[in-house]
Structure 1
């Protein structure tokens, strides 16, 4: 029997920053909101339903304008009926939070933002992640 594998090529139009911080989500968001041009507010949890009745939920905060969207996503799942996997992107489990940036106007905003984030006292470590190398990037397409 021949097996076929379905592949999908969605356009990756966002940048990703990995953040290591022991701060609670609301406290981290408050510190990030002190930066220029960002105002994160609590949004509905991200829900991802899979074809085999699996579902995962992750907490998020969002700031959305006409030409940009910034999402602070907690990488540790709020709930899951998947055994073993407790992270939204398990290959990035070393990061507590992921900052997803979709921007159509400012060039190099993610690089500038990483430099600003490193100055915040509640962030232990942050780095821009090459999204093309992330295997589970489908979990970030929302």
Structure 2
């Protein structure tokens, strides 16, 4: 029997940052709120059921205005997982958190945000990524 596969190519229109931090997610969100004058609010955890392979539970925080949206996502699953790689973005598993910014202007401009993230004491390292180059970029589409 012939098997057909559907190949979809997504265009990601957001900026993506990887953050290395030993802080807990609520502490990092609080720090970002104070330093960047945001209002990151805890949202319901994102749940990815990967059929028979397992499940990912991802903690996330959201700051939304009329023009821009910023999400703080934990890269590693909150719940214990049977998956080999229990990460939202297994390509960049070295990073503890991901920050997704759509329509970033002003203080949420990519270069300015990277500078501010790197200056925070809770952040050991921050880096900007092109989400279109990631293998598992569809995990970042909400």
- Aligned with 1:79: secondary structure? coil
After superposition, the CA RMSD in angstroms is: 2.2
Which residue is 2:119 aligned to?
Answer: 119
CA 53–124 in structure 1, closer or farther in 2 if over 3 Å, else same: closer
Which residue is 1:138 aligned to?
Answer: 138
Which residue is 1:70 aligned to?
Answer: 70
Q: Is the 8 A contact 1:15 1:129 kept in 2?
A: yes
Unpaired segments ≥5 residues, structure 2? none
C-alpha distance in 2 between matches for 1:132 and 1:107? 23
Q: How many pairs are equivalent?
A: 142
- How much has 1:83 moved relative to structure 2? 2.6
- How much has 1:132 moved relative to structure 2? 1.5
C-alpha distance in 2 between matches for 1:107 and 1:38? 10
Residues 88-136 of structure 1: CA distance to partner in whole angstroms, max 9, x if unpaired?
1111100000001111655971221000011100000001111111010
Q: How does 1:20-35 map to 2 (within 5 A)?
A: 20-35=20-35
Unpaired segments ≥5 residues, structure 1? none
Which residue is 1:40 aligned to?
Answer: 40
- How much has 1:71 moved relative to structure 2? 0.6
TM-score (norm 1): 0.87
Q: Structure 1 runs of 4+ off > 6 angstroms?
A: none
Q: Pick which of 107-116 and 120-129 moved more.
A: 107-116
- How much has 1:37 moved relative to structure 2? 4.4
Residues 43-89 of structure 1: CA distance to partner in whole angstroms, max 9, x if unpaired?
11012234558432100111111111111000010236553121111
TM-score (norm 2): 0.87
